[in-house]
Structure 1
């Protein structure tokens, strides 16, 4: 038993004994006057009021004062620990429930331990699913994300449009309730580690690696265009310096279609790409251009523009003898030059 528990037990016994003694004293005094009707019992004399009665009331007041003088500080000192204990217990229960939900709904893409994986891309191929065990560390110094728990919950509720990450919240058409999403969030937060693998500097990556990491999702592995335009024939539309400028500054069409900037205006200032890295991407694009460009490659190719449907095959005439119609028996129409002139009023 802790000292706090022992002190509370002693105080409880003392308070109980005091109450029993006071009640016993009051009961003995009541028995002395039980034979006299209440209305005929004499009132307290001045001496009694100033001695026994007053002392009894003061004794009760002293007991209650001492009780609260001890109980309230003990309660105040113990309450934070009790609250923390209950919060920890609730968090543990959340983590257990969240682990079951994560395994059933999230592990297929993010891995059974949340360490990352891959999902089927809506544009074909695989889409990398991020590691969730270092998300707190990754956003530790972020100037835009200050509440990682809120970030996780919001992402679970709404999903990430344009990626394989669906909306899980019931308010956004998903199958999970708010409490279930809170449980998954608790599980993710319980799996956090303090180490984040350092990103390989862009200067050490090839143009192909940079393109694969940053561009292939929108422009396709073969430059064919997915949600972004085709880059086949891009140098027929722009020179290399213009392409480099687009990579630096991005494109905002004003209708919600955005090509993000990779240098000027890039959200994370410390990780903006240098001209050297962007130049590698430009060189890679130049290397991937086909020897013979397809028709229309010199024009801007809208993303998602499909090929025209082929013409349906001609249907064959049914076999058998067809009955002649008036058109069939009428013969060829006379040539306009063979027709006799029509007399009009001007000819008269």
Structure 2
């Protein structure tokens, strides 16, 4: 498993043999359509997405009216009509990223926090069979099929349960942010997409068609916490991808995380090495989850200020002394606030600074 986490670190050296096979024909899968690897969809090193039956995307509905999740199937209307889904509530999808699953502790924490805050339909998206690949480009390619499958569920909820697209929010971490982008592109009119440190490798500075971008929902926001280049063990992106992009602490090394990147291999062979690696090198990439969950649970507001660049932020040129026009980062953000925003956070819980 540790090797699996290390794979993105060598992705720049990975070259697929696909271009030399002389075949660029699309692959077609039932329900989700056809996929080719011609530009711009060659971003995943010419790797084709795997079929839906291999990825086995699953959807779990949580509401305040049941004690256990209910499984939703985009292709079985009875799972929708027989569930506790209500079109009178906002609907929030949560999507994980690379080498992750809905069994990760943050999923339960975020779901519980949302349901304690508001009456909502919370639907968690598990594509762990497609995310858990030794070769990172395969997982990156699979996001296209997962996005199409998610789009089909949204359409099913529209058709069979009266879902209003404006009430939809998709929260995606890492590769999950781009999955939300694909789904939003396939179903125009979704209310909001929240990208939590959208994955950078194979997506940074690529065509908007292959990554999250502002056209994917009525309001697209992103929180960037690990935007350094992959060569410096950065797993997110610095590039602006939304109507509103937030850069806590400049959007790169988060407080309390930076020192771990100098010791990328020290955890190997030690007890709990996998957890140490994730909490070390991937610390800034995972910190965005802590920040967003805290923005739901806490009464403290993550106040951010507009700023032109990371350099201006680091030099203090974006500091505000009076008459500050703050923008809220996280759960309380407003679609009316657009631009690039910067703020400081703490190095440990609580991360919000009063």
TM-score, normalised relative to structure 1: 0.20
Structure of higher RCO (CA pairs closer than 8 Å, 6+ residues apart): 2
Task: From the CA coordinates, give the structure whose radius of gyration is larger.
Answer: 1
Q: Which has the higher helix share?
A: 1
TM-score, normalised relative to structure 2: 0.20
